[in-house]
Chains A and B, each alone.
Chain A
Amino acid sequence: MRALIAQDLKLSLRQGADSAAALVFFIIAGSLFAFAVGPAPGLLARLAAGVVWVCALLAALLPLDRVFAPDFEDGTLDVLLLSGLPAYEIAFAKALTHWLTTGLPLLLIAPVLAVMLRLPGGQINALLASLVPGTMIFSLLGTFSAAVTLGARRASVLMPVITLPLMIPALIFGASVAGSAHPAAAFYMLGAILAAALPLAPLGAGLALRAASE
């Protein structure tokens, strides 16, 4: 599994456009809100945490159609499935790679967008703390829907339709961590979602991969 992760990281470094596009999208989409809502500090600050969360969610979706599709198209998926590695481990490795190449960079760049949107300084730590499990949930559930839609004719259209509703609970609790009077409660709910997604999403994705390769 380590070899698979290393190879995928190497590939995404050499074809870095996908991850970079997600980051650029994140910053541009976030700053569009400032243009649309106007620069009034009070209003922007109230919206900021939610805007960062929604933009991170949408940005994390962008590279999902390249998680399994290249391997499916060039025959690597068959070789992977016959490597002796259980299918859920393949799916987990892909989710981890997606997080390392998309989730982690989003996390690192999120403070910039938060400051641009005038999020109060004291809430930035809470926002980042909520985005750590948040981006992990995006990667796990996103990988699951990428596997489910693999081989479908309109996969790129189908995938957001399947992924976005799955992300709503994480979005509700995650965006309310920053600025909430009781951030711990929402944060624990986020942790619970991550704890459920961690085993279930790779298992489901693994089954979908087996079905896609039939």
Chain B
Amino acid sequence: MLNGISFALNPGGFLLLRGANGAGKSTLLRTLAGLTPLAGGALLWDGAPALADFCTHAARVAWLGHLDAVKPALRAAEHVPVAALARVGLEKFADLPVRLLSAGQKRRLALARVTASGRVLWLLDEPTTGLDAASVARFAEICAAHRAGGGMIVASTHTPLDAPDAQELAL
């Protein structure tokens, strides 16, 4: 159960959720996505209740959960367009079945789906798990590009990210 949480995110904003394991970062992200219902309080989008219609809210959100949601039997290019694969540096692996990819590569594939979604609000649960240093740097660039286009990001992470102007919320 989370209590007394309040924040506002403007276009281009980046909110980092910090907290120990089990502090409720994932629960907060699921609540922001509308998957887990609010027990109290309000979630507003442009001043209006965000969850009045679940599908409307879902169409604003790109979701990266702690699971990668990729199918081992499908090829990487069957998950996302090749252009999105190139953004996370997976274009060479487009025709490989996902079961042959490493954990970090699967994470990048899941990240590629987020970048290809075209949604405004990215909700990312531990997006850098399993990523190497180069991929973390690339992830920071992807985030910066999304924010430059007016997009918003809420992410939980333990790794330090190159985003000096990010807001932080300690749970």
| Chain A residues with a Cβ under 8 A of chain B | 7, 10-11, 14-15, 74-76, 78-79, 81-86, 210, 213-214
Contact of A78 among B35, B70, B78, B113 (CB under 8 A): B35
| Chain B residues with a Cβ under 8 A of chain A | 30, 33-37, 54-55, 58-59, 61-63, 65-71, 73-74, 78, 113
A10 to B72, CA, bound (A): 12
Contact of A82 among B58, B67, B70 (CB under 8 A): B58
Given the interface contacts A82-B35, A83-B58, A84-B58, does A75 sit within 8 Å of B67 by beta carbon? yes
Extra 15 A-B pairs, beta carbons < 8 Å, given A7-B78, A79-B63: A10-B78, A75-B65, A78-B65, A78-B67, A79-B65, A79-B69, A82-B34, A82-B61, A83-B58, A84-B58, A86-B55, A210-B54, A213-B35, A214-B35, A214-B36
- Which residues of chain B have C-beta atoms less than 8 A from A84's C-beta? 55, 58-59
- Which residues of chain A have C-beta atoms less than 8 A from B78's C-beta? 7, 10
How many A-B pairs fall under 8 Å by CB? Answer: 54
A74 to B73, CA, bound (A): 13
- Which residues of chain A have C-beta atoms less than 8 A from B30's C-beta? 214
Main secondary structure, interface of B, reads loop
- Which residues of chain B have C-beta atoms less than 8 A from A210's C-beta? 54
A72 closest partner in B (C-beta): B67
Given the interface contacts A10-B78, A82-B61, A84-B59, does A74 sit within 8 Å of B35 by beta carbon? no
- Which residues of chain A have C-beta atoms less than 8 A from B62's C-beta? 82
Most buried by B among A7, A15, A82, A84: A82
- Which residues of chain A have C-beta atoms less than 8 A from B73's C-beta? 11, 14-15
- Which residues of chain A have C-beta atoms less than 8 A from B67's C-beta? 74-75, 78
Contact of B35 among A10, A14, A81 (CB under 8 A): A81
Most buried by B among A14, A79, A86: A79
- Which residues of chain A have C-beta atoms less than 8 A from B71's C-beta? 7, 11, 74, 76
Nearest CB on A from B156, distance (A)? 15
A32 to B13, CA, bound (A): 66
Contact, CB under 8 Å: A82 / B63 = yes
Contact, CB under 8 Å: B36 / A81 = no
A79 to B119, CA, bound (A): 13
- Which residues of chain B have C-beta atoms less than 8 A from A15's C-beta? 73
- Which residues of chain B have C-beta atoms less than 8 A from A213's C-beta? 35
Nearest CB on A from B163, distance (A)? 24
- Which residues of chain B have C-beta atoms less than 8 A from A74's C-beta? 67-71
Nearest CB on A from B162, distance (A)? 27
- Which residues of chain A have C-beta atoms less than 8 A from B61's C-beta? 82
- Which residues of chain A have C-beta atoms less than 8 A from B37's C-beta? 214
Most buried by A among B30, B36, B62, B71: B71
Nearest CB on B from A94, distance (A)? 15
- Which residues of chain B have C-beta atoms less than 8 A from A10's C-beta? 74, 78
Q: What 6 pairs across the A-B complex have the smallest Cβ distances?
A: A75-B67, A75-B69, A84-B59, A76-B69, A82-B58, A14-B73
